[in-house]
Amino acid sequence: MGAFGFSSFDNNEIARDGQELSAALADFRLARRQAALNAVLGRLHGTSLELLSYEDVSRKLRVTGQMERGVREIPLDKIVGSVGRYDEFDRSFLPLKDHDAQRWAGLRTAAPDPGDLPAIDVYQIDDAYFVIDGNHRVSIARRSGMDYLEANVIEIQTRVPLPPGLGHRELIVASEYAAFLEHTRLDRLRPDADLEASLPGQYDKLENHIEVHRFFLELDGDRELSDEEAVVSWYDDAYLPVVEAIREQALLREFVGRTETDLYLWIAENQAALRNELGWTIRPQAAVENLPPHLAETRRGAAGRLYHRVRRAVIPRQRPPVETWSDQKLLDRYSDRLFSAVLAIIGPGREEAALAQAALLAQLDQAHLFALQITDSALSEAQRAPAREWFARSLRDARLQGQIGFEQGDLQADFADVIARRANLADLLVLDSALLTAGAAFVDNCPRPLLLVPGAARPIRRILLLYDGRPQAHEALFVAAYMAEMWGCSIVVLADPAAAPRALEEAAPYLEMHESPPESIIAAPLQPDVVFRIAAENECDLIIVGGYKKRPLTKSEVAAWLLDAARESAWPLLICP
């Protein structure tokens, strides 16, 4: 009886084991079908569901060290690869090989609760894990709906971080980044440097940029540079200024999916194209401000919204609903300088006054000084040489940096188009008033402040600000306040009688907030004879007025005499956009 009873118990146990094994095998086949379906869906959607090879990843990211981290719970969805068995499971650790059925089912049967299985062994790179031993245990745990599993963790340090959304393209980019750092040692020379890119092929371009930078440095310095000197100089003097401009404009918010390095490379190429066309180097800020919308896969919002909170406090009230020049220059005005680049327009026989006045203003802001000479016929290099030498002397005398470019065009027919194309490349345009033949069409569409110089250059000590309450008058107020606060100029406000109360309520407090209260506010008609008389009585050196952009049916009296006054005036006239 006892023997019969023991035999009965053993058979029942075997039967139960057989049923559990059959159920596990059935679950394995179901998992295999799910893996096959996922693979088809992945191909249809263009996504890869393959596990990553640790050997491939570690080689491409350049392992620099490792450290034992002991046993801990790790999230199963962070396991992205395997050591040696990456082709036997997909990214969800569903099985891909039919011959693995018995082993998979046997483990599943041996531990009804996968949490009772021994800890697995993994490598950790950033927040991703690669299985050394325990691939089947991970598969069973994922199949059972578990979120965490115990693991012996070995942390791997690599030259570059593991990119987010890791796929084969991202891995290629990371591999190229690691190779770039290995060649340049930039991560050692500048530990805070972050040159992550989003597309393959970018780092070859960066290395080319470094070599070109080295070439010109060696040419200027007449000596060979070490690799370290070339890399550091390129990063500090070529790369960082562009990236800082990108950060000032908060462009990464606007260009989704791009990195600072992506934008740097586009801007560098854009600068090269502009340099080839114009004959001078375009500063990073100008190139950044003129990035085309098609560069981004997704363009979000207007850049002006970035400064919405700040505007209310630091820009005069009654703003127009559209973004203005002062909106674009707000960060420069309060964190750096308002005029980083000054462009003097030079015509035949009219060089000295405009360039001399531009140099005086550039000195005040330590700006780059550029000149554009417009000629009615194309000039050879030999014909351009005297202008280049004269301009170089002017730069040396003023202790400024800059370049001169040349443009062929008809001063009568092409002037407005030529200057409008160049205006965005500077912060201030300076022009001899006798060259202003295009009239209102040019002034009306000029996107930058325009300084019209009637004769000899003069230092700017006292400003006459014309104020009529229009939106453009606030642009003039914005510039005048900067000149008073940063350059030490004094201000006399001449207000149209209808706008005088607003000048007292708005313009005066705004100037006082910038520690430059007006010397006086005079209420008088904004007519040429009145304006010139008051400028003479108050010994003013500059008249500042707002423009009259795109409102031909509502031009004020100021708009009616702007251009004639510029030609008749003995004072430089600054027209704000």
**Among 111-115, 200-204, 451-455, which stretch is predicted with the lowest mean pLDDT?**
111-115
> From CA 534, how far away is CA 521, in angstroms rounded?
11
Q: In total, how many domains does the chain have?
A: 3
The pLDDT of residue 300 is 35
Among 301, 320, 340, give the residue marking a domain's end.
301
Q: For 154-183, give the DSSP string.
A: EEEEESSPPPSS--HHHHHHHHHHHHHHHH
Is residue 295 predicted with pLDDT exceeding 60? no
317 and 348 both lie in a single domain = yes
What are the φ/ψ torsions at residue 79 (nearest 5 degrees)?
Answer: -85, 115
Which residue has 């979120």 as its token pair?
147
Beta strands in 173-306 (DSSP E): none
122 and 149 both lie in a single domain = yes
The pLDDT of residue 473 is 83
Range of the domain at 153: 52-162
CB 89 within 8 A of CB 51: yes
> From CA 575, how far away is CA 287, in angstroms rounded?
24
pLDDT digits (tens, 9 = 90+) for 31-48: 888 888 887 777 666 667
What average pLDDT is seen over the chain?
Answer: 77
Among 301, 334, 356, give the residue marking a domain's end.
301
At residue 507, what is the residue type? Answer: A
Helix (H, G, I), strand (E, B) or coil at 494: strand
Among 301, 326, 341, give the residue marking a domain's end.
301
Question: Is residue 1 situated within a structural domain?
Answer: no
> From CA 209, how far away is CA 39, in angstroms rounded?
42
The pLDDT of residue 149 is 92
Question: Is residue 238 situated within a structural domain?
Answer: yes
553 and 447 both lie in a single domain = yes
- Looking up residue 448, the CATH number of its domain turns out to be 3.40.50.12370
User: In this structure, are strands 148-158 and 402-408 parallel, antiparallel, or unpaired?
Assistant: unpaired
Question: Is residue 66 situated within a structural domain?
Answer: yes
Question: Which among 67, 61, 62 is positioned nearest to 123, based on CA atoms?
Answer: 67
The pLDDT of residue 229 is 92
The pLDDT of residue 233 is 93
> Both tokens of residue 457?
């250059």
224 and 209 both lie in a single domain = yes
145: Cβ contacts below 8 Å, ≥ 6 apart: none
- Looking up residue 136, the CATH number of its domain turns out to be 3.90.1530
What H or E segment, with its residue span, contains residue 523?
strand 520-523
Query: What's the Cα-to-Cα distance from 191 to each of 159, 163, 181, 239, 330, rounded to whole Å?
Result: 11, 18, 11, 15, 31
516 and 536 both lie in a single domain = yes
> From CA 503, how far away is CA 480, in angstroms rounded?
14
Question: Is residue 331 situated within a structural domain?
Answer: yes
At residue 433, what is the residue type? Answer: S
Higher pLDDT, 539 or 245: 539
Helix (H, G, I), strand (E, B) or coil at 223: coil
> From CA 495, how far away is CA 492, in angstroms rounded?
10
CB 90 within 8 A of CB 50: yes
Question: Is residue 84 situated within a structural domain?
Answer: yes
What H or E segment, with its residue span, contains residue 369?
strand 368-375
DSSP state for residue 95 in the 8-state scheme: B
> From CA 467, how far away is CA 496, in angstroms rounded?
6
353 and 499 both lie in a single domain = yes
288 and 366 both lie in a single domain = no
What confidence tier does 76 reach under pLDDT thresholds 50, 70, 90?
very high
What H or E segment, with its residue span, contains residue 69?
strand 63-75
Question: Is residue 43 situated within a structural domain?
Answer: no
317 and 444 both lie in a single domain = yes
The pLDDT of residue 288 is 59
95 and 136 both lie in a single domain = yes
CB 464 within 8 A of CB 540: yes
265 and 365 both lie in a single domain = no
Higher pLDDT, 575 or 169: 575
Question: Is residue 252 situated within a structural domain?
Answer: yes
pLDDT digits (tens, 9 = 90+) for 267-293: 777 666 655 555 555 556 566 555 554
Question: Is residue 169 situated within a structural domain?
Answer: no
CB 539 within 8 A of CB 489: no
At residue 122, what is the residue type? Answer: V
> From CA 100, how far away is CA 108, in angstroms rounded?
12
296 and 394 both lie in a single domain = no
The pLDDT of residue 304 is 34
514 and 448 both lie in a single domain = yes
Long-range Cβ contacts of 534-538 (<8 Å, 24+ apart): 534/464, 534/492, 534/494, 535/464, 535/571, 538/462, 538/464, 538/492
> Both tokens of residue 407?
């443009």
What are the φ/ψ torsions at residue 320 (nearest 5 degrees)?
Answer: -70, 160
What H or E segment, with its residue span, contains residue 136?
helix 135-143
